């Protein structure tokens, strides 16, 4: 008769015995992320406070811990910062407005076609993102069918163009990020037990009230996830601005890109990058706190 004292409290079945196993599993992946994500960001932080070597070649910098770089960069790119966040917010709201009824229709009104419709929502995005954006440029351009039709119907004047405008950029961004909004919305709407909606009707709430008081609140996790997945890439995007916009619609991404490739100015580019990251992180944190969903991933 042996009296056993086990010190290990088994929470799940696979914990404990080989304590090193999780670390071994993590090692390769985390090492990769460290080398190609963490290190570059740290390096970026370092670059952001450097100054060009006086009398040296372009691209030569020395570390001077010049935090004024940030102030300079911000002043130089203030309109782009503002524009990035305005466009991203507009695109997110538009995407939400367009996607929500779509997700609702798929979740509740699609019957046997649910899976097909889900595939159809994602399918357009199998064509290259750039091809799609250029397609819009051509559809909305002078040679497309939209502008001449609208002009013929006298909705827009003969001089107005749809491309090369802020409107086109925002529309392009909205379109490109639609699946990022639709899929999380669908996922959380799908989880709602339709019987709760029936219960709401049973308790004297009509369709609109049921939506306001039951459906929408229950879909909040999806709304939060969708808006985040849309806003974050949208704020940093610059392809839509490049293809569908004009020099007055440049976003922060365009500036960073040009400071890397055209006007070689790494410290400014680095500072701008950091400010963009910081701004997004702060906004995201406030947003998550206020909407109360912590476990997103």
State which of positions 103-162 bind another protein (CB under 8 A): 104-106, 109-110, 115-117, 119-124, 126-132, 134-139, 141, 143
Residue ranges of alpha helices (H) inside 11-67 are: 21-33, 39-48
- State which of positions 247-276 bind another protein (CB under 8 A): 252-253, 256-257, 260, 266, 269-270, 273-274, 276
Q: How many residues does the chain have?
A: 297
Token digits of residue 19: 């304590």
Does 208 contact another protein by CB under 8 A? no
Provide the minimum distance between the beta carbon of 123 and another protein in the complex, in angstroms, as a whole number.
6
Provide the minimum distance between the beta carbon of 250 and another protein in the complex, in angstroms, as a whole number.
13
CA dihedral 236, 241, 242, 246 (to 10 degrees): -140
3 state SS of 63:
strand
Query: d(Cα 81, Cα 283) in Å, to the nearest integer?
Result: 14
DSSP assignment letter at 140:
S
CA dihedral 113, 118, 119, 121 (to 10 degrees): 120
Query: d(Cα 264, Cα 61) in Å, to the nearest integer?
Result: 11
Does 204 contact another protein by CB under 8 A? no
Residues 235 and 276 sit within 8 Å (Cβ to Cβ):
yes
Query: d(Cα 102, Cα 293) in Å, to the nearest integer?
Result: 23
Does 220 contact another protein by CB under 8 A? no
Does 191 contact another protein by CB under 8 A? no
Task: Closer to another protein by CB, 5 or 154: give it.
Answer: 5
Provide the minimum distance between the beta carbon of 282 and another protein in the complex, in angstroms, as a whole number.
12
Part in contact with another protein (CB under 8 A); list of ranges 17-25, 150-158, 161-169, 197-205:
17-25
- State which of positions 66-95 bind another protein (CB under 8 A): none
The site that binds another protein (CB under 8 A) totals a number of residues, namely: 97
Tracing tokens 């559809």 back to the chain, one arrives at 139
Provide the minimum distance between the beta carbon of 71 and another protein in the complex, in angstroms, as a whole number.
19
Does 33 contact another protein by CB under 8 A? yes
Task: Closer to another protein by CB, 127 or 160: give it.
Answer: 127
Part in contact with another protein (CB under 8 A); list of ranges 26-34, 73-81, 161-169, 196-204:
26-34
């Amino acid at each position: 008769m042996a009296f056993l004292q086990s010190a290990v409290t088994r929470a799940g079945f696979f914990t404990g015995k080989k304590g090193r196993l999780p670390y071994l599993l993590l090692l390769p992946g985390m090492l990769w992320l460290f080398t190609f994500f963490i290190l570059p960001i740290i390096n970026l932080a370092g670059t952001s406070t450097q100054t060009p070597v006086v009398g040296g070649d372009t691209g030569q910098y020395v570390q001077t811990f010049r935090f004024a770089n940030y102030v300079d960069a911000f002043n130089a790119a203030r309109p782009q910062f503002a524009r990035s966040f305005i466009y991203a917010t507009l695109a997110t709201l538009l995407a939400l407005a367009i996607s929500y009824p779509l997700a609702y229709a798929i979740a509740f009104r699609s019957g046997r076609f649910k899976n097909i419709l889900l595939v159809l929502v994602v399918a357009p995005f199998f064509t290259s993102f750039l091809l799609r954006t250029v397609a819009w440029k051509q559809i909305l351009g002078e040679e497309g069918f939209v502008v001449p039709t609208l002009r013929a119907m006298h909705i827009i004047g003969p001089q107005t163009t749809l491309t090369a405008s802020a409107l086109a950029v925002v529309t392009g961004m909205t379109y490109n990020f639609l699946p990022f909004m639709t899929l999380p919305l669908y996922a959380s709407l799908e989880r709602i037990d339709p019987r709760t909606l029936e219960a709401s009707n049973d308790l004297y709430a009509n369709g609109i009230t049921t939506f306001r008081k039951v459906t929408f609140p229950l879909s909040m996790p999806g709304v939060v996830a969708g808006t985040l997945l849309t806003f974050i890439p949208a704020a940093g995007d610059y392809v839509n601005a490049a293809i569908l916009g004009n020099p007055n619609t440049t976003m922060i991404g365009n500036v960073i890109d040009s400071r890397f490739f055209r006007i070689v100015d790494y410290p400014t580019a680095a500072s701008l990058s950091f400010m963009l990251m910081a701004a997004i992180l702060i906004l995201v944190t406030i947003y998550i706190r206020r909407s109360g969903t912590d476990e997103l991933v």
